[in-house]
Chain A
Amino acid sequence: MTADVRPTRPWIRWAVGCLLVLVLLAPVFGWASGAVGYAEPIGNAAHATGAADAASTVLPGLLPDYSVAGLDGPLGTLAAAGIGTVLTLGVALGAGRLLER
Chain B
Amino acid sequence: MHIPDGFLDPWVAGLFWLASGAAIGLAVRRARGALGDERTPLLGVVAAGIFAAQMLNWPIPGGTSAHFVGGAFAGILLGPSLGVLAMTAVVTIQAFVFGDGGIIALGANLFAMAVVDVLVGYALFRACRGVHETGAAFVAGWGAITVSALVVGLGIGSSSAFAYAVGTTVPIMVVGHALLGLIEGAITAAVYGYVADARPDLVLGRSTDGTAAVEVGT
A binds B: yes
What is the interface of chain A, defined by CB distance below 8 A to chain B? 1-2, 4-6, 8, 11-12, 14-16, 18-19, 22-23, 25-26, 29-30, 32-33, 35-42, 44-46, 48-51, 54-66, 77, 80-81, 83-93, 95-97, 99-100
Interface size on B, residues (CB 8 A): 83
A residues within 8 A CB of B40? 93, 96-97, 100
| CB proximity of A61 to chain B, nearest CB, Å | 3
| CB proximity of B192 to chain A, nearest CB, Å | 14
Q: A62-B97, A65-B98, A84-B52 are in contact. Are A42 and B3 (CB under 8 A)?
A: yes
What is the interface of chain B, defined by CB distance below 8 A to chain A? 1-7, 28, 31-32, 35-41, 43-53, 55-66, 82, 85-86, 89-90, 93-100, 102-104, 149, 152-153, 156-157, 159, 161-163, 165, 168-169, 172-173, 175-177, 180, 198-199, 201-202, 207, 214-217
Give the residue among A60, A61, A77 with the most B Cβ atoms within 10 A: A61
Q: A26-B55, A45-B153 are in contact. Are A84 and B96 (CB under 8 A)?
A: no
Q: Which residue of chain A is the closest to B104 with respect to CB atoms?
A: A58
Q: A48–B168 contact, CB under 8 A?
A: yes
